């Protein structure tokens, strides 16, 4: 059911038995940088509907009060959320590049409605399926081998896109815990807090824009459903190719962290490491409708539906 934020916020106040001043103090304690400007006048305007905070801030309020984020996302009226013309143009150009100018060819059948399968692999399971793929990226070869040297100290949550023949035609792979990775010389140095709140996503593979956005929406739903990920605030992404770097940075507000340059003249592929606020990517007006649609799909999911296995991870 779609609800206005003023209604939801009022319900949260009553449910948590908080006064307005207590709510302000609570939110500033939760995330001071985001709520340091929140005062009684601003909160009053939120509650009477004269103003509505950005969707990103609405989600932060939900998380700060430990409310059900999945249910809240399903109440958001996405029709009232507008994307900037600049960001929309960047995404449009990216889609055109992937689908028409430089399409990816494949030996395997690419179906219009692909299935997705979520797994959490140990070292050997990951290596059997993805080892050759990541070892074939020269610019991050040292990082790849350093991570693999950790063996079963890390796990590999992954999303595989499959066709009707159950063949993999796209993937996304995470690496956790980040505390283990941040100690590697081939990565970056992070504080204990940054590492505990962060998550690393390796180079993804997709064959068209539909798969690109499908991986993002499934990854976010995975994050929302699995309690093990809900404390994460920042995603660190390894990106291949300038076009995906540009769309991630310009349309999804990613920040530069590091660049892994090509290792020789024969291999021109460099890898960008960026970081992104997970709450901001959820609230992005291009991504949020996809996430909302998938969450509603899961709620109405029939037992014989084999398009994904996300429901099995709601308690992991």
At 110, is the pLDDT very low, low, confident or very high (cuts 50, 70, 90)?
confident
- Average the pLDDT over each of 84-93, 130-139, 223-232 and give the range with the smallest value: 223-232
Q: Identify the pLDDT of residue 102.
A: 66
Q: What is the DSSP string of 81-122?
A: ----HHHHHHHHHHHHIIIIISPPP-SS---SS-EEEEEEE-
Q: Structural domain boundaries of the chain?
A: 5-80, 85-313
pLDDT tens track for 3-33: 999 999 999 999 999 999 999 999 999 999 9
Q: For 176-216, where are the E strands, in sequence order?
A: 198-201
106 pLDDT higher than 60: yes
Taking the C-alpha atoms of residue 103 and residue 91, their distance in angstroms, rounded to an integer, is: 16
Q: Identify the pLDDT of residue 112.
A: 64
Q: What percent of the chain has pLDDT over 70?
A: 97
Q: Which fold has domain 5-80?
A: 434 Repressor (Amino-terminal Domain) (1.10.260)
CA-to-CA dists, residue 59 to 69, 196, 281, angstroms? 7, 21, 11
225 backbone dihedrals φ, ψ, rounded to 5°: -80, -35
- Average pLDDT value for residue range 299-316: 77
Q: What is the pTM (predicted TM-score) of this model?
A: 0.92
227 pLDDT higher than 80: yes
* CATH for 85-313 (3.40.50.2300, 3.30.1330.60, 3.40.630.30, 3.40.50.2000): 3.40.630.30
Distance of CA 272 to the CA centre of its chain: 17
């Amino acid at each position: 059911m779609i609800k206005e934020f003023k209604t939801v916020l009022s319900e949260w106040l009553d449910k948590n038995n908080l006064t307005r001043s207590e709510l302000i103090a609570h939110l500033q304690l939760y995330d001071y940088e985001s709520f340091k400007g929140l005062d009684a006048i601003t909160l009053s305007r939120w509650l009477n509907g004269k103003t509505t905070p950005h969707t990103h801030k609405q989600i932060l309020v939900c998380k700060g009060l430990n409310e059900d984020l999945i249910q809240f996302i399903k109440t958001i009226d996405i029709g009232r959320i507008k994307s900037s013309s600049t960001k929309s143009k960047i995404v449009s150009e990216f889609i055109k590049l992937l689908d028409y100018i430089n399409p990816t060819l494949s030996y395997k059948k690419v179906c219009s409605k692909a299935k997705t399968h979520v797994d959490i692999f140990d070292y050997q399971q990951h290596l059997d399926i993805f080892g050759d793929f990541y070892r074939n990226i020269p610019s991050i070869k040292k990082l790849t081998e350093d991570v693999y040297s950790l063996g079963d100290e890390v796990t590999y949550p992954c999303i595989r896109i499959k066709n009707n023949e159950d063949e993999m035609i796209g993937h996304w792979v995470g690496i956790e815990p980040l505390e283990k990775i941040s100690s590697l010389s081939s990565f970056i140095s992070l504080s204990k807090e940054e590492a505990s709140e962060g998550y690393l996503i390796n180079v993804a593979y997709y064959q068209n824009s539909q798969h690109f956005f499908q991986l993002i929406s499934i990854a976010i739903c995975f994050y929302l459903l699995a309690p093990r990920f809900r404390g994460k605030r920042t995603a660190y992404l390894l990106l291949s190719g300038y076009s995906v770097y540009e769309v991630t940075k310009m349309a999804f507000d990613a920040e530069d962290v590091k660049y892994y340059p090509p290792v020789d003249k024969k291999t021109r592929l460099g890898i960008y490491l960026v970081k992104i606020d997970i709450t901001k990517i959820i609230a992005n007006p291009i991504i949020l409708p996809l996430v909302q649609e998938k969450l509603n799909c899961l709620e109405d999911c029939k037992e014989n539906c084999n398009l994904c296995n996300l429901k099995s991870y709601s308690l992991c």
